[in-house]
Structure 1
Amino acid sequence: MPPSQAVHGKEGQKLQIAALITLSSIPFIMVLGNSMLIPVLPTAEKALNVSSFQVSLLITLFSIPAAFAIPIAGIMADRIGRKKIVFYSLLLYGLGGLLAGFSSVYQGGSYTFVLISRIIQGIGAAGTSPIAMVLLGDLYQGEDRSKALGILEASNAFGKVLSPILGSLIAVITWYAMFFAFPLLCIPAAIALWKVIREPSKNEKPQPLQEYKRHIYKIFKRRGKWLSVSFLAGALMMFTMFGILFYLSDYLEKTYRVEGIFKGFILAVPLLALCVTAYLTGSHVKEQTHKMNKLIILGLILTTIATAATPWWKNAYWLVGCSFVIGIGSGLILPCLNTLITSAVGMQERGIITSLYNSVRFFGVALGPPVFGALANRPFILFLGLAFVLFIMIFLSHKFIDRPQRLRGKGGRSRLLLRKKRLSPV
């Protein structure tokens, strides 16, 4: 049980479940911000009378501001508290959706104001799921943290599974109806967060800013190699996952004219693989943290093989099958990276370190679709080139992400230590 939710008996169990459900709902809501919009982009292009590139900015100008704002949210979370940042970010995220909805209606639809609203929504997203991951890392300790982070990643993936289907269903009303869905989701989540979550009290006052900066510098000086490799691995997996989904969506529509809800169900297949694998991985490594580096390498090997195999046969079943394997690989890697990064740094610096990791992941999400789109007519260069990069990542992960050991501390807290040689009693 989280120490801050330390109420014994059935009431304590209810609080624990409520806290996990509340925090897991946040990445689910956040991921809808982009993924739910994808099925209606062609309709939005016609309604707003803009080009294909211009309508794609509705995705880009959500992800890029979020990626830049996440580290700022992380610093603020370290200094004024995670719960406050997530709460107000959810409200800003919902407000951005509401403004985008009204901008789509105003005078037949204002493209400029919709873009501005999406920027606001992206800034709000920066303080939602990334800081929820930090808060969950504070609330849960040891083996419980690994399982909880696996559930958080599974919730993120489950949002990706449902979002194309939900987007297609809501668009039956009108293409901009989904914008009004965001405040309806964000306000209850914010209220639940404020009432249910009891943020752990810090025993120490926030460090002076200069000392805080020096401490962050020391963390990267001591652990910069494996942290950097972990950051790159997370970004590369998001780049690959979102890129292959974009490629699959485009291929299904242009080759087989598969559109709407049916296409949403097909796109959900690799995301469902990610969702289930992430949950199982988080549950498995909670007791066996020493296996995390092996699972990361296994996930990278599966992803590399599936990526290299993709361009050889132009067949929908083959492409969906390769995407499914990539989903499994992502599900093996991401929960392990989440646990390593949140557990290997102290509570006072966890916000900025975890936020930097999520920021890099957002850049992967933002770059995947345009790169895959630009190289769609050169599939061998695209997929074999990406497989080569993934192969290099296998080598880097093997070299720098060592077998973790769990060190126990006071008050039931623990931290993961990564080093070549295992500690042994003298």
Structure 2
Amino acid sequence: MASIPLVMTLGNSMLIPVLPIFEKEVGITSFQTSMIITSYSIASIFLIPVAGYLSDRFGRKVVILPSLLIALIGGLVAGFASWKMDDPFTWIIIGRVLQGIGAAGAAPIILPLVGDLYKDDDEKTSSCLGLIETSNTFGKVLSPILGALFAAYLWYLPFFSISVFSLISIVLVLFFIKVPKKKEEPVALSAFIQSTKKIFKQEGKWIFTVFLVGIYIMLVLFAVLFFLSDSLEKTHGLYGVKKGFVLAIPLLALCISSFITGRKIKGELKVMKVIMTVSLILMSISVALIGFVDQRLILLLAVSSFLGLSIGALLPTMDALITENIEKEERGTISSFYSSSRFIGVAAGPPLMAVLMKSLLNISLIGAGVLGILMFMLVLIFIKPEKSGSAA
């Protein structure tokens, strides 16, 4: 299971350190370069809820395998276009959209699958989700290093590598994931829509709070990564593999934090709320400071690593909130809406940073910090662990 978020993360984050190379090789602007990340995410935003419904109706594995195959094809399309065409940008975007479609039906389905497998054991569910999220974040650590290594050999090789990783994941899923057999009849679409409306009506306040925090976290993460990738080259003169290793430092902090948090929360709602509130405060302070330390590499890495620690603590906590507080019948759908909300942040982060970092860097990062305080207040108000059996 952990191979799927790893592959999907590599499919997106691996390209961030080599975006400046794409800019030179393809002859495009920094905003167009950011679209290579955003196109992947936009495709995922709209299709993740559909994949969630289909997985609830027909089974998790039935949705995951074709999705990984589509991601594989997308990598081949982008790779061959870059290799053989003089003006490959349009076909790179088409390939990235295909990868986004594949991502929509693969990684988000893992959350409800974990809930299906360990439905009577909150501690095991939290621990497994921690490992899944750690795999996701480990992919973020590995991705700048791998991306830089591949691009140093051939600038378009990262696209082909995504297809290879997808193939490995297909084989692993095919042979090693044994999903529980569905005993009940699949829910009709009309009944599904009504039950989804009912969940949002009854539990909407805390669910939407988690969605908003998810958007905020991923927006900040990918905006800051885009900025760091640019700054390490233009301000600090770091290129290639050396840049990849440096970019991996804050992501390693994120990975370690995610792993430890996933092991510690153990389904305890009060603990989850404390982690979310403290992490959001630390995250708000960190992101507001990044623009002020840009010229000093050690301070920049320290502040961005602190930001990584905060985000790493938040991600498995929110996964567990969604997975452990939604009934199995709707779990795939609600977790898919949550995954979709996260992709809104991934899609918005790079292009926003591409526009803002030229003249409004500090103002935009301070604004992101203020937005984090708003998220902190929403968590305080709407996530209420004292009510047993639910997060609200």
- TM bin, normalised by shorter chain, reads over 0.9
- Displacement, 1:57? 2.1
Distance in 2 between the 1:334 and 1:111 partners?
33
Cα pair distance change 1:115/1:79, threshold 3 Å: same
Write the deviation string for residues 375-405 of structure 1: whole angstroms up to 9, x where unpaired.
Answer: 2232331122111111111111011112267
Cα pair distance change 1:312/1:58, threshold 3 Å: closer
1:187 aligns with 2:187: no
**Contact 1:278–1:335 (CA under 8 A) maintained in structure 2:** yes
Distance in 1 between the 2:242 and 2:99 partners?
28
Q: Which of these residues, 116, 132, 138, is aligned with residue 152 of structure 1?
A: 132
Distance in 2 between the 1:195 and 1:383 partners?
45
Q: Which of these residues, 276, 282, 286, is aligned with residue 306 of structure 1?
A: 286
Partner of 1:375: 356
Q: Aligned partner of 1:379: which letter?
A: L
Q: What 5-or-longer segments of structure 2 have no aligned partner?
A: none
344-353 vs 216-225, greater mean Cα deviation:
344-353
Write the deviation string for residues 175-203 of structure 1: whole angstroms up to 9, x where unpaired.
Answer: 11122222222122112212211111233
Cα pair distance change 1:57/1:288, threshold 3 Å: closer
Distance in 1 between the 2:287 and 2:21 partners?
31
Distance in 2 between the 1:26 and 1:60 partners?
20
- Mapping of residues 265-280 of structure 1, within 5 Å: 265-280=245-260
SS in 1 for 2:184: coil
Cα pair distance change 1:273/1:404, threshold 3 Å: farther
Cα pair distance change 1:219/1:193, threshold 3 Å: same
Partner of 1:88: 66
Q: Aligned partner of 2:303: which letter?
A: C
Distance in 2 between the 1:166 and 1:389 partners?
33
Q: Aligned partner of 1:362: which letter?
A: F
**Contact 1:273–1:328 (CA under 8 A) maintained in structure 2:** yes
Q: Which of these residues, 358, 377, 390, is aligned with residue 339 of structure 2?
A: 358
**Contact 1:248–1:320 (CA under 8 A) maintained in structure 2:** no
Partner of 1:417: 390
- Displacement, 1:109? 5.4
Write the deviation string for residues 352-381 of structure 1: whole angstroms up to 9, x where unpaired.
Answer: 100110111011011112222322232331
Write the deviation string for residues 108-137 of structure 1: whole angstroms up to 9, x where unpaired.
Answer: 453322221211111111111111222122
Partner of 2:317: 336
SS in 2 for 1:76: helix
- Displacement, 1:233? 0.6
- Mapping of residues 107-122 of structure 1, within 5 Å: 107-108=85-86, 110-122=88-100
SS in 2 for 1:99: helix
Q: Aligned partner of 1:363: which letter?
A: I
SS in 1 for 2:244: helix
Partner of 1:17: none
1:67 aligns with 2:38: no
Partner of 1:397: 379
RMSD, aligned α-carbons: 1.7
- TM-score for the superposition, normalised by structure 1: 0.87
**Contact 1:104–1:114 (CA under 8 A) maintained in structure 2:** yes
The alignment of Structure 1 onto Structure 2 pairs a total of residues equal to 388
- Mapping of residues 47-58 of structure 1, within 5 Å: 47-58=25-36
Distance in 2 between the 1:115 and 1:239 partners?
20
Distance in 1 between the 2:366 and 2:346 partners?
20
Partner of 1:423: none
SS in 1 for 2:185: coil
Cα pair distance change 1:110/1:380, threshold 3 Å: closer
98-107 vs 61-70, greater mean Cα deviation:
98-107
**Contact 1:289–1:405 (CA under 8 A) maintained in structure 2:** no
**Contact 2:281–2:373 (CA under 8 A) maintained in structure 1:** yes
Distance in 2 between the 1:168 and 1:146 partners?
33
Distance in 2 between the 1:40 and 1:380 partners?
24
SS in 1 for 2:390: strand
Distance in 2 between the 1:195 and 1:92 partners?
19
Higher relative contact order (CA 8 A, sep 6+): 2
Question: Larger Cα Rg: Structure 1 or Structure 2?
Answer: 1
Q: Aligned partner of 1:134: which letter?
A: P
Distance in 1 between the 2:232 and 2:128 partners?
35
155-164 vs 306-315, greater mean Cα deviation:
306-315
**Contact 2:49–2:337 (CA under 8 A) maintained in structure 1:** yes
Q: Which of these residues, 263, 274, 277, is aligned with residue 243 of structure 2?
A: 263
Distance in 2 between the 1:159 and 1:258 partners?
21
Q: Which of these residues, 23, 26, 30, is aligned with residue 45 of structure 1?
A: 23
Distance in 2 between the 1:52 and 1:287 partners?
43
Partner of 1:19: none
Cα pair distance change 1:202/1:405, threshold 3 Å: farther
Distance in 2 between the 1:311 and 1:100 partners?
34
Distance in 2 between the 1:354 and 1:288 partners?
19
Q: Which of these residues, 20, 25, 29, is aligned with residue 3 of structure 2?
A: 25
SS in 2 for 1:226: helix
SS in 1 for 2:328: coil
Cα pair distance change 1:43/1:375, threshold 3 Å: closer
Partner of 2:299: 318
Write the deviation string for residues 248-285 of structure 1: whole angstroms up to 9, x where unpaired.
Answer: 22222221211211111111111111101111001001
Partner of 2:158: 178
Identity %: 42
SS in 2 for 1:418: coil
1:254 aligns with 2:234: yes
- Displacement, 1:288? 3.9
Cα pair distance change 1:113/1:220, threshold 3 Å: same
**Contact 1:131–1:355 (CA under 8 A) maintained in structure 2:** yes
Cα pair distance change 1:193/1:144, threshold 3 Å: same
